[in-house]
Amino acid sequence: MEFTAEMIAGFLGGTIEGDPAAAVAEFAKIEEGHEGTLSFLANPKYEHHVYTTRSSIVIVGRDFVASGPVSATLIRVDDAYAAFASLLRLYRENQPRPVGVSSRAAVSEEAVVGSDCYVGDFAVVESGVVLGDGVAVYPQSYVGRGVRIGAGSTIHAGVKIYEGCVIGQRVVIHAGTVVGADGFGFAPGADGVFEKIPQIGNVVIEDDVEVGANTCIDRATMGSTVLRRGVKLDNLIQVGHNVEIGENTVVAAQAGMAGSSKVGRGCMLGGQVGLAGHLTLGDGVKMGAQSGVDHDVPAGGTLLGSPGLPGIRFHRSWAVFRALPELNQRVAALEKVISDQ
């Protein structure tokens, strides 16, 4: 299906420079564009591509000032990246969704399946499950006893959701993720043998959460492990038992949160961040990649390094650390002077 620059500008509230009838049917990166594709320019480091791109239409910011001729039709908007993202969402939402229960799926007669649901080949839906309207469960996924999944949620291929877990509306869980496996709870006995502590809680994932591939979210020992509304988790993340992650917090790949840690609202955790158990991050905390923390962090804090230090202190410490070889040489020289006296 083709869209003209006039149609796109109308949807985005943008202004056109060039041919309003220019038409596109595909998206492309600005450096790889060809006739009939739509691209965008948001990062100044890619500006040189706007003068050579073969894309028919390019979305740019209103403040963009061309330093050379541009053959593409430009659509000027307040925020080029956000505008392009809204078009991608519109495109995705208008893609056909699969509907129907495969004859090769195993769906319990005691499960409730809403309207317009999809259950793919070799998926298993156990007794007591409730799938809301429009839920998609892709092939080879497992939905355990008593699980509830809200309307419009997508469970991608190979996801395992253990019994009793609760998934909200419009949640997306990507391939290979495990929700509700036992938390890591063992207690040493008098003979040194570790005895398993039964994990009888569940996992609650609220509305509009997205969970990346091969992430593990453990069930609570008692109560619930909770991901609040709007949380976004990357791939390969470990969320321990009884962890609570606040609304609209984002966590990058390979991060790990030990049991009973609490993460506030609107936090940003970089890749490979590690949280010790039973600590609390306040709202709006930011942690740089590979940071580790073993203590509570007040709201609005920024931590870098391991163990995590406040940003300014980390940079000052790093300046000293980088100079250690030279400092060592100076100390050695001073020791030699002293010993020669």
Could you tell me if 177 and 215 are in contact, meaning their C-beta atoms sit under 8 angstroms apart?
A: yes
Residues sharing a CB contact under 8 Å with residue 190, sequence separation 6 or more, in sequence order: none
Residue 324, C-beta contacts closer than 8 angstroms, at least 6 positions apart: none
Tell me which of 48, 49, 156, 241 is the catalytic residue. 241
CA angle 274, 277, 280 (to 5 degrees): 85
Report CA Rg, the chain: 26
Q: How many CA atoms lie within 13 A of 52 on its CB side?
A: 6
Give the Cα separation of 96 and 108 in Å (integer).
27
CB atoms within 10 A of CB 264: 21
Report the C-alpha gap between 80 and 76 in whole angstroms.
8
Instruction: Respond yes or no: is residue 49 known to be catalytic.
Output: no
CA-to-CA separations, 332 to 12, 327, 329, 335, 341, in angstroms, rounded? 66, 9, 5, 5, 15
Active site (catalytic) residues: 241
